C-alpha cells in the first residue's frame, strides 16, 4: 500500500510535506501552477519588503505635500494617483490570482524587522485570500548599543502586532543567530506564532577584488546546509506548540526524509527548484514515497519526529557531545 504522505502545517492540510519556499519561482501565477502540478503541497509567495512600502509611503507623502502647495483644487488628485500600481497593490493582486488559480494553500510573506504601521498589510494579505502569513525577518544588529534583549523584544513585538491584525495563522522565518534559540522560539510562539520557519538564510556581502567594491553575493544552497535546520528542528520538536518548517539545503528525497525524521512538519525548498525547475517537486515526492514504502512506513505522521531529540536513542548527538566526537574522529592523510 502506498504510504499516506499527508501533512499538517499551521493547521493547513497538505497533500505531502513539500512546500515551495519564497523565491522568484513563486512570483507569478504560471510557475505557481507548474509547482502545483508537480506536486507542491503549498506555496510561499516572495516577500513584500518593508523598504518597498516605506519608500512608497514617503513618495506618496511628498506628492501630497506637493499637491497641497499647488492649491486646494489640485490636492484631490494626488492621493488617488500615488498608490495605484504600488508594490502592495501588485502583491495583493498576486495573492488573489494565486488563490483563484490554485487549490493548494497560498502563504503570503512580509519582510521587515520593525513593528509598526506596515504590519497592517498582513491584514490585507488575509483579505486578499492568503491562507497564512509568513514573517520573513531579516535584521542584523550592527549597532553596539543595541542589546540582544531589545532585539529579541522587537521580534516578539512584531509577531504580536501581526497576530493582532490577523486571524489566519502567522509563521515567522528567523535566522539562527540567537544566543538562546530554544527560549527565543518559545517566546515567539507565546507571542502568537503558529509556526517557525527555520532558518532564514542571509545574503552575505562579498568583496570584488577587481572592482574594489562590496557586492551582495547570493549563492544557491547545497545539501550541506541542511544540518543547521535539522539540529534545531530535532531539538524543538515536541517542545514548542507550533508547526516547524525546515528551510535551507533540502535538495534530495533523502534530505526531506532526514528533516521529517528530525520532526519537521513540512520541508520548504527554493534553491533546488531554481536549479532543476518545478518538476523537481515530483522527484522529491516520488523518492520520499519509495523510501517509505521500502521500509513499510504507513504515513508521514508515523515517521515524523522519530529521530527528534526527545525520541532518538542518543539525545546528546544533537548537542555538545557530538562536537568532541566529530573533531576527534576526523582523519586526513596530512594530519
Ligand atoms: C533568489 C532567491 C530569492 C529569495 N527570496 C525570498 C523572499 O522573498 N522571502 C523569503 O522569505 N525568502 C526568500 N528566499 C529564501 C528561500 O525562501 C529559502 O528560505 C532559502 O533559499 C533556503 O532554502 P533553499 O536551501 O531551499 O534555497 C529567497 C532565496 C533565493 C535563492
Per-residue pLDDT band at 313 (split at 50, 70, 90): confident
CA dist 13 → 7, 93, 107, 144, 177 (Å): 6, 24, 13, 44, 31
Q: Tell me the C-alpha distance between 289 and 75, whole Å.
A: 62
Asked if residue 19 lies in contact with residue 269, where contact means CB atoms within 8 angstroms, the answer is yes
Considering the entire predicted model, what is its pTM?
0.91
- pLDDT recorded at residue 57: 63
Q: What are the tens digits of pLDDT across the range 8-40?
A: 999 999 999 999 999 999 999 999 999 999 999
Q: Is 109 in the pocket of ligand 1 (CB under 6 A)?
A: yes
Q: Tell me the C-alpha distance between 171 and 165, whole Å.
A: 14
For residue 222, how far is its CA from the centre of ligand 1 (angstroms)?
13
- From 19, 21, 170, the mutation candidate for ligand 1 (largest count of ligand atoms within 8 A of CB) is 21
Q: Is the pLDDT of residue 267 over 80?
A: yes
Q: Helix 29-38 and helix 87-101: axis angle, to 10°?
A: 30
For residue 135, how far is its CA from the centre of ligand 1 (angstroms)?
13
The ligand 1 atom nearest the CA atom of 247: 23
Per-residue pLDDT band at 78 (split at 50, 70, 90): very low
Q: Tell me the C-alpha distance between 74 and 72, whole Å.
A: 5
For residue 219, how far is its CA from the centre of ligand 1 (angstroms)?
10
- pLDDT recorded at residue 204: 84
- pLDDT, the chain, mean: 90
Nearest-CA residue for ligand 1 atom 17 is 22
CA dist 91 → 40, 50, 76 (Å): 21, 13, 26
Q: Is 24 in the pocket of ligand 1 (CB under 6 A)?
A: yes
Going by the DSSP 8-state scheme, the letter that residue 41 receives in this structure is S
Q: How many CB atoms lie within 10 A of CB 229?
A: 28
Q: What are the tens digits of pLDDT across the range 113-147?
A: 677 767 889 999 999 999 999 999 988 889 999 99
Q: Rounded to an integer, what is the distance from CA 90 to the centroid of its chain? A: 20
The percentage of the chain sitting over the pLDDT mark of 90, rounded to a whole number, equals 73
Dihedrals phi, psi of 99, to nearest 5 degrees: -65, -40
Range in 79-83, 109-113, 138-142, 146-150 the model is least confident about: 79-83
Helical H segments across 128-241, by residue range: 148-165, 181-190, 226-236
The ligand 1 atom nearest the CA atom of 173: 11
C-alpha cell at 90: 501588485
Q: What are the tens digits of pLDDT across the range 194-217?
A: 999 999 988 888 899 999 999 878
Residue in this structure with the C-alpha cell 500500500, named with its chain if needed: 1
DSSP three-state, residue 72:
helix
For residue 47, how far is its CA from the centre of ligand 1 (angstroms)?
9
The ligand 1 atom nearest the CA atom of 220: 31
- pLDDT recorded at residue 124: 95
Amino acid at each position: 500500500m502506498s504510504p499516506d504522505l499527508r501533512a499538517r502545517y499551521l493547521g493547513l492540510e497538505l497533500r505531502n510535506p513539500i512546500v515551495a519556499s519564497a523565491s522568484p519561482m513563486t512570483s507569478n501565477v504560471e510557475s505557481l501552477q507548474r509547482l502545483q502540478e508537480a506536486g507542491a503541497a503549498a506555496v510561499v509567495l516572495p516577500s513584500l519588503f518593508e523598504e518597498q512600502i516605506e519608500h512608497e509611503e514617503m513618495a506618496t507623502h511628498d506628492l501630497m505635500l506637493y499637491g497641497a502647495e499647488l492649491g486646494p483644487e489640485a490636492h484631490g488628485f494626488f492621493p488617488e494617483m500615488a498608490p495605484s500600481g504600488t508594490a502592495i497593490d501588485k502583491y495583493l493582486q498576486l495573492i488573489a490570482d494565486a488563490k483563484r488559480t490554485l487549490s493548494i494553500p497560498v502563504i503570503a510573506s512580509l519582510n521587515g524587522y520593525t513593528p509598526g504601521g506596515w504590519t497592517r498589510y498582513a491584514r490585507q494579505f488575509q483579505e486578499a485570500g492568503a491562507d497564512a502569513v509568513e514573517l520573513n525577518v531579516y535584521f542584523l544588529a550592527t549597532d553596539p548599543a543595541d542589546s540582544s534583549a531589545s532585539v529579541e523584544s522587537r521580534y516578539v513585538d512584531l509577531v504580536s502586532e501581526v497576530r493582532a491584525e490577523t486571524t489566519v495563522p502567522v509563521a515567522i522565518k528567523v535566522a539562527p543567530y540567537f544566543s538562546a534559540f530554544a527560549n527565543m522560539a518559545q517566546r515567539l510562539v507565546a507571542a502568537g506564532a503558529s509556526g517557525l520557519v527555520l532558518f532564514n538564510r542571509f545574503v552575505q556581502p562579498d568583496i570584488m577584488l577587481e572592482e574594489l567594491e562590496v557586492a551582495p553575493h547570493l549563492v544557491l544552497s547545497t545539501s550541506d546546509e541542511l544540518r543547521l535546520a535539522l539540529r534545531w528542528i530535532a531539538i524543538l520538536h515536541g517542545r514548542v506548540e507550533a508547526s516547524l518548517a525546515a528551510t535551507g539545503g533540502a535538495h534530495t528525497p533523502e534530505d526531506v526524509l532526514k528533516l521529517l525524521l528530525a520532526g519537521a512538519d513540512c520541508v520548504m525548498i527554493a534553491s533546488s527548484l531554481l536549479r532543476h525547475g518545478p518538476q523537481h517537486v515530483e522527484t522529491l515526492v516520488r523518492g520520499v514515497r519509495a523510501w517509505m514504502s521500502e521500509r513499510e512506513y504507513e504515513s508521514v505522521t508515523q515517521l515524523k519526529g522519530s529521530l527528534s531529540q526527545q525520541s532518538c536513542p542518543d539525545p546528546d548527538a544533537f548537542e555538545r557531545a557530538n562536537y568532541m566526537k566529530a573533531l576527534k574522529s576526523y582523519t586526513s592523510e596530512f594530519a
